[in-house]
Structure formats: structure tokens, C-alpha cells
A and B are shown apart, each in its own frame.
Chain A
């Protein structure tokens, strides 16, 4: 860890001001940032503490949706009565992540911005294009079991590791952002970026921009499932995860919002997967077709080849379960 200045941001405007500087990062729960600072993966000269800014409430929106404060904790969000009753996929996704202690500290804004768990990213004595542009990618010919199979580039094959954002993507939530140039709202599905030639850019936040909230649309009902596949049953990142909101009318799919975790540098949402299900009667052949579309461009890197069949099978499991539950 490098020595750093600590400043408690007194206002949102000041937080923006501070983080607009080259060398300043916002700190919320610190569960990701402090670990990375200890390893000198992150070396900010200054931390702007945003914990006292407010934005910690969970409140109804005018159109019947729900606004989750960026500084509300993961635990507060997961146990909120409306989240549990109206957006169970979100509650389940959050509870499938990390541990109780971490979730008590982790915030919703920080969770969206959490960085990859790639082994080479977190070891500063190894090459990594994300941490040190141009140094090479240690994972591509290295240990890459956890790595991406979709949307990779020859610069980086890391995954976005989180769970909450996968559910938010299936729900079609929106991120509220405030910066020195004003406020803007960005769909969660567009918030994270693919690595391309700039793997160090992970999301669309500009310098000086602070996430203030996440807005969930009015509840859609349906059967909501969050399925996380992992080696041990807790305290492990997803090998593959699926967030699904499914509705059947007259035995046919009338809603199929699906997002996937563990596959790419962002929560993966391919609208064609859900579309191919709509109006169809559930069947193994149909689920296969959905998987074919999803995995059309999938590419493994040896160690993570298994994610391709695993994703197919997990999608089968989720769609079968949803069909049963809905029937």
C-alpha cells in the first residue's frame, strides 16, 4: 500500500471535484478497493470517502419502481421487503455473493464497480494489460479457468466477477450518475464495457462521476431465478451464473429476460436469446436453440473450455426449473 491522503467528501459536488483529479478514487465500503491497494494494484494518492453523502436510501419511484441508493449496503438491499417480494432475482443474486460480513460493508455502487478477480491482474509482478497497458496478458496462456468465453479480445480475457449486476441486467435496471457535467442515467446493460483494445476501461464512468443510485423498473412478476454455479457452496465467484425472469402464458413463453455472469467482461445480455423463446412451447430442443444463439461466438482458452458446455447445461436447468415453477 502506498501512502495516500484521506478526504471525507462533504458534498456530492466536492466528491466529483475530488475524483475528477488524476489520482483520486472514491471509497465506499472499501471491500474491493482496500484489498487492491494493499497489493498495490490500485495506487491512488488520495481517497475521497463518499460514505457520508447520503444516497443510502431505498425508496419507491413514481412509476412503481424502486431506487436503490448507491451507498445502501448489499445486505440492506437484499433484505429490503420490496426487493424480496418484487425483485427476488436481485435479492438472490446479492445473497449468492461474497459473505455476510462482506455484504454488510459492500455498497451497491461499489459492487457495480468491483474489479476482475484475474490472478494476473492482482499480482503486480505479472504482466497484465488491464493494470499496466501494453505489458501483455498473463492469463491468455496462463491459468485461465475463471476467464471469459464471450466478448474477449486478444488484449484481455477477464470477467466481470459480480452477481448483483447480472440480476440488474436481467431486470433492465438503470444506473444514476452524477458528475461535474451534470447527471445522467445509463442502462446497467450499457454500464460495463468489453475489453477491446482498452481493457483498463471497465465501465462508462468518466473521471469525477459518482454513482448515486440504481433504478429498478416497475415490477414485472414472473418466475425469478438466480442460479450461480461454483465449486464450493459459498464464498466463491461464479463459474457461470444465470439471472432469469420467465413468464408463461397458455404454455408458451411470454417473458424471458436472461442475463449471464462469469462469461464476459460484463454481465452478458443477448436479447436474441430471450426473443427466440418468446411464443414458443418449452422443450429441450428449444433450450438448445437458445444456448446455440448465446454461445454462437463463444471461445475457450483451454482451461475454461468447460464453461461452454456448462453454460448450455445451466441454461437448460434454469429454463426447466422456470417452466416447472410457472406451470
Chain B
């Protein structure tokens, strides 16, 4: 039986707080943690499938043009080679998040260097890899593909454009105004588990083990790509070794494995190499961002301008939503916002953790530091003075707003020194020491979600949904929510995820997973509670359950009388989405050291204070924040995709040369959880959390670099060469 709940009104009853089990919010370790660290949790490519052949993708070595011939004979005689697949259904790009339809297909048309154009299948992986490199391919090259976002006429994303008042006039008249331009480089998700799939056919039924974030959408994408009915497709992603956006949509190996398995009549596994993952999956677009801020004597904003240029391939709908939080974070009645996309022939741009704010916030929050200096006030104070009452563009109220608390609590916990600031005040040996701060903001998303909860006759519970756990803690928080609602130790709740045979969840992405699927589980559990309440002649809101018993000592097993009780919860965000602006907020504080001679920057300590609604598990929540802050360090100091200026290929395509932070780059990180209940955000009063931790953190580091050594930089990442170039003598 399905119970449907559409949220049209805020729910401030905070029912979860009145439950008796007391497990929700507790720092419970991840249920699947042991299996993962002992290597017994199978990832996509690790399922033991008999008689499995191995496929390796062949990728294009031109930027734009057409494949005119593929010389199969050149490899079919090689040892072990079974087939060369260049079916027109092969995908040449990954699907964008929530695309819900097949991504670009047709391998004969080449749009970027490194694009998949064929698959070689062989008995062993080594044979397939060797043959893939031997395959002779001829092309008709279409010269002159634009590669540099600055060299083409960009397309305006009109729904992002805001013209309000007269910004130019405000800039000219205001007591203080700044007009600064920032750049950020492209980023990669760099998830540990490479993109991989094993496809198996049973007649016309297809099963694919894949590494994906959003099965509910992925199944539609895959069925569409193969011209199949969804009912004939099953996708399984029980464990996902990191996604960070790169596995939102199906990528090339999934369709390739399915087509190959059909053609060769046996299961086929396709694992992308590390280089291929970098070159074919998704990049975060580089950005150029102009910030114009105009403020009165007291630092109150009267004008706010944020314009950004991003890029993507022709035909892609995604444009890095750089301005997402800029629309509402600060006031200023004269506003100008604009997002432009340049069509260029670098690999596909798509979602990488916190699309939009990840790069928009570092620019905005660094500009705010420039403004604070100009106005001559403390940067924390500048932010406090500019928190708007309501959404400054839409006029909507905020569902909840913890920015001020985060700024204050964060400043106190960090030991922020209040007052106007001057650079180059502290030196230890070769090192300049400085501190900096920034606000955090990330829009809150929720999505329709379904989950089935079964209270078993034996007094245990089962939660089933196709929702994924990409390392974030979904297994654990769902066991906690069900345990809390049904009065069970979470150890007695079995959670089964990542299989499209289960009710459909929203998938993991846009930080919406926990609040959405958690609400579906909540709705299902509430329905089960109603049944139980009826059985003992009370009402659901009075039903107290703890350790599998009612207050009068009846056990759930007795109540169930040998029968399972199952309910499917169906949660749908309702009209409430139009009534409020909902976002997570926070504040970052960083202390860095900058080497006077070499320009090397190291983060000494960093703190983030975040408000994102109900904390479902203090440990997994904190881990998400720490992960986000770690990404901020990479974004600020080291991470940059480098593209060849002549053919647009990604050159630094492995983990040795694309520099994510290593342990030594990440100091003690401190997280302050500013807990709140946001009744308009979701029925469980929780908001998104997975991405907030990196939305602005890089600016805290950039601002600390300036405070330390006086190098005011406008280009991320702030590598030694750039720091030295900006450092006063």
C-alpha cells in the first residue's frame, strides 16, 4: 500500500523530536563501513559474473569531425579479441544529472578529443586494452573547432538574467564600490572508483551493475539509449566509490557494455581507465566572473552585480549555475546578474560537487573581502550587515536562515580577531601567517521519493529503495530514521539500496538525497505507526515505541501477530517550493601560511560552521562538511584542469598530475553544526548538506592569503607562481 504525502505547508510539528528511541542525530558509524574497509563490499566491476568478456573504450584523437572508417580487421585477428563495437547507439557523452533521456549518441560524429568512438571486446582486459590501442581509425577532420571560451560569442542564459534598478548609477554614486574579475579553472570529480559497468542479458531482459548516483533517472536514460522498455532493464549500484556529480547520469561505459553483451552473447564488463574517466566523463566548467559591489558608508550594499562566463559543448543544456546563491545571499536594491555560456570543444561540462556555488561563492566571497577592506570594517561585520530580510529578488521569505548564527558562532569558535584588518602583520621565519573568512551558501533541493518500509513479524524492519549511498551515509541515516519512528535499534533495521527493483528514490545529487528519501521513509513509517496505534486503540501521535515495545510492554512481534506490515512512502515536494527561498548557510574561517620566498601556501587550520536543518547523524554530517572543506582547499590552492590550447584535450588526466589535496595539505578541520529545524525544507526538517561545506571555503583561504602576505589574487587556484606574482616586494 502506498501512502502519498505532498508537502504544501511547513511542518513545524517536529514529530521526530518526540519519538522515544532516541537514535536520530546520534553519531552512529556507517553501517557498511566495515564491509568497505575490509574489501567485502563489491563495487560495480567486482561482481563475480561468469563467462564475462572485457571491453575497453576506444577514444578519438581528433577534436571535431567524423569517423570515416574503422579497420576492424586490424584487431580482430589479435589474440582473444571477440568484437569491435561501433553501434550508432553508443553514447559519446555522459548524461547530465536528471536528464532522464539518453545522452548524445552516434560515435561517428566527434565533438571533442578523447570522445569514445568504439568498444573493443576481448577475453581478457589486457587483450582488449592492447587491441583498443591498435585499432586503426580514419577521420575526416573539421578544422577550426573553437577551444577557448574567450574566442566565441557566448549565449546568454536568459532565465538567470536579473536587471533590477540601475547598478551603473549605484556604482558611480555609492560611497564605496568595487569592480573585480575572478577566474576559476575546470575541476574534476576525481572519484576513487572509476566508471564501470557489467552488463548481462537474459533473453530480452538486461541487468547492469554500474557505478551510478541516480538509478531512477539512469534506468530511463539507459532504456532510452537502447530503445527498450524500462521494465526490461534492471540497474544495480549498491556501493558507489564516490560520485561527486560524475555519476549523476549514465556514462559511456554503461551503454557500451549493454550493446556489447547483446552482440557477443555473453556478459561484458567495461571499466574506464583513470585517464578516460578524466577525459570523457564530466568537467566542471572554468569560469570568468565579474563582481560589482556598491556600498554605503556603513558597508550596506546598494548595488550587486555578478556576471559569469562558463562553457560547454554544443548541444549541452547544462551551464555551471554560478549565480545560484548570488541571487539571494546579500541585499542591494540595484542588481545585475547574467550567466553566459561559450560553446567550445572541450569535453562535456556538467555537475561536479556543488555545481554553481562551488565556484560562484569563492569569487563573491573574495570580492566581499575586498569591499570590507575598502569600507574599513571587519569582514564578518560586513556580512552581518548585509543579510537580507527576504529574498532580494523574489521577495519570498527564507524557509530558515542561520547565516548570522554561523558567522557569530564560527568566529567565536575560531578565535576570529574583530576589527579592520591589515595584511602582512605576522611572520614566522620564512612564513607569513594570516586569517580569512567567508560565508557559505548552497540552495536546498528536494525531490520526489519512494521507499518501502516493512515491519517484519519478527520485530525487525526492512527499508527498500533504489536510492544510492555514494559514501555519504544513506544506509545509516535511513536505519536511524526508521529506527526512531518504529522504536527499534537501528541494528534491527536492514536497509537495501541501489536496485531499481525497489521503489524509486531521488538518487544522490544536489545534496537532496537525505532530506528527500528520508522523508519517504518517514512517511512510510508514519503509516505503519498508524496501523499499530489502531491495534492498541490509541492514536499515532500518542504512540510511544522504544526497543520494540509500547509503554505498556507489548512487543511489536505480539502486535503483528505473525504478519509483516509494509507501507510504501511516497514523498513529493509540493507548492511550498514556490513560497520560500530555501538554502543552507554557513561560515568558513581559515588560517594559512604563505612562504615569502616560494609562494607556497599551506592551510594551518580551518573551521566551518553550518546550518542545514536537522542533523540526522552527527558523524556522517560532520564527515560531509570535512569533505567539503577539503575540496575547498583543493579549489583554492591546487586543483586545475589543463587543456591543450591546440586540440582542447585534457592534459593532466590522472591523480598524480591533477592535484587534489593530500593528507598533509589538510590540517585539523573543525566543524560547528548549528542545528535548526526547517519545517519548510522537508517533512523531516532537514536540508541538503553534502555540498555546503565547499561553497565559499576557497575564499576564506584566498582572503587569508591576502591577510598573510599582501597578495590580493583574483585567479583560482592560488598556486605558488600566482602568489609570487601578486606578492608585494
Contacts and interface: CB of A to CB of B under 8 A. Distances in A.
B374 interface: no
A143 to B, nearest CB: 5
B80 to A, nearest CB: 10
B598 A124 contact: no
A49 B725 CA distance: 48
A233 B662 contact: yes
A235 B656 contact: yes
A95 to B, nearest CB: 12
Contact of B133 (A40, A141, A231, A314): A40
B447 interface: no
Contacts of A232: 637-638, 659, 661-662, 664-665
B661 A142 contact: no
Contacts of A124: 133
Interface stretch (B477-485, B534-542, B643-651): B643-651
Contact of B664 (A3, A138, A231, A233): A233
B651 A1 contact: no
A1 B128 CA distance: 10
B645 A313 contact: no
B710 to A, nearest CB: 16
A117 B649 CA distance: 17
B652 interface: yes
Interface string B128-139: 011001000000
Interface residues of A, number: 36
B73 interface: no
Contacts of B662: 232-235
B720 interface: yes
Interface in A183-239: 229-236, 239
Contacts of A306: 720-721, 724-725
B659 A236 contact: yes
B725 A314 contact: no
A234 B664 contact: yes
Contacts of B665: 232-234
Contacts of A1: 126, 129-130
Interface in A126-150: 126, 138, 141-143, 145
B645 A142 contact: yes
Nearest to B727: A313
A310 interface: yes
Contact of B651 (A40, A142, A317): A142
Interface in B594-610: 595-600, 602
B265 interface: no
Interface in B569-622: 595-600, 602
A283 interface: no
B663 interface: yes
Find the residue from B79, B644, B646 having the highest chain A CB count within 10 A.
B644
A310 B724 contact: yes
B603 to A, nearest CB: 10
A233 B592 CA distance: 13
Q: For the complex, would chain A's binding face be called helix, strand, loop or mixed by DSSP majority?
A: loop
A143 B721 contact: no
A141 B646 CA distance: 9
Interface residues of B, number: 39
For chain B, what secondary structure do more than half of its interface residues adopt (helix, strand, loop), or is it mixed?
A: loop
B430 interface: yes
A119 B657 contact: yes
B550 interface: no
B703 to A, nearest CB: 19
B651 A119 contact: yes
B642 interface: yes
A231 B79 CA distance: 44
B557 interface: no
B598 A317 contact: yes
A119 B651 CA distance: 6
Quick one: which of A2, A231, A316 has the most chain B CB within 10 A? Answer: A231
Given A119-B657, A231-B719, A235-B656, A314 B649 contact: no
Interface string B710-729: 00000001011100110000
A296 interface: no
B52 to A, nearest CB: 20
Given A141-B645, A236-B659, A317-B597, A231 B637 contact: yes
A229 B602 CA distance: 12
Interface string A233-251: 1111001100000000000
Contact of A231 (B596, B646, B659): B659
Given A124-B133, A236-B659, A142 B720 contact: no
B161 interface: no
A309 B598 contact: no
Contacts of A138: 644
A39 B662 CA distance: 25
B720 A231 contact: yes
A125 interface: yes
A117 B663 CA distance: 23
A316 B646 CA distance: 37
Contacts of A126: 644, 649
A141 B647 CA distance: 12
A313 B724 contact: yes
Contacts of A321: 430
A281 B643 CA distance: 47
B602 A3 contact: no
A1 B404 CA distance: 57
A3 B651 CA distance: 27
Contact of B644 (A3, A142, A229, A239): A142
A313 B729 CA distance: 12
B721 A310 contact: yes
A11 interface: no
Contacts of A125: 61
Interface of B: 61, 79, 126, 129-130, 133, 275, 430, 595-600, 602, 637-638, 642-646, 649, 651-652, 656-657, 659, 661-665, 717, 719-721, 724-725
22 contacts: A1-B130, A39-B275, A40-B133, A119-B651, A123-B649, A123-B651, A124-B133, A143-B642, A231-B637, A231-B638, A232-B637, A232-B664, A233-B662, A236-B659, A306-B720, A306-B721, A306-B725, A310-B720, A313-B724, A314-B597, A314-B598, A316-B597
Given A1-B129, A233-B665, A236-B659, 15 more contacts: A39-B275, A40-B133, A119-B652, A119-B657, A142-B646, A142-B651, A229-B720, A232-B659, A234-B663, A239-B720, A306-B725, A310-B598, A314-B597, A314-B598, A321-B430
Closest 7 CB pairs of A and B: A306-B721, A317-B597, A119-B651, A125-B61, A233-B664, A313-B597, A229-B598
Interface of A: 1-3, 38-40, 117, 119-120, 123-126, 138, 141-143, 145, 229-236, 239-240, 306, 309-310, 313-314, 316-317, 321
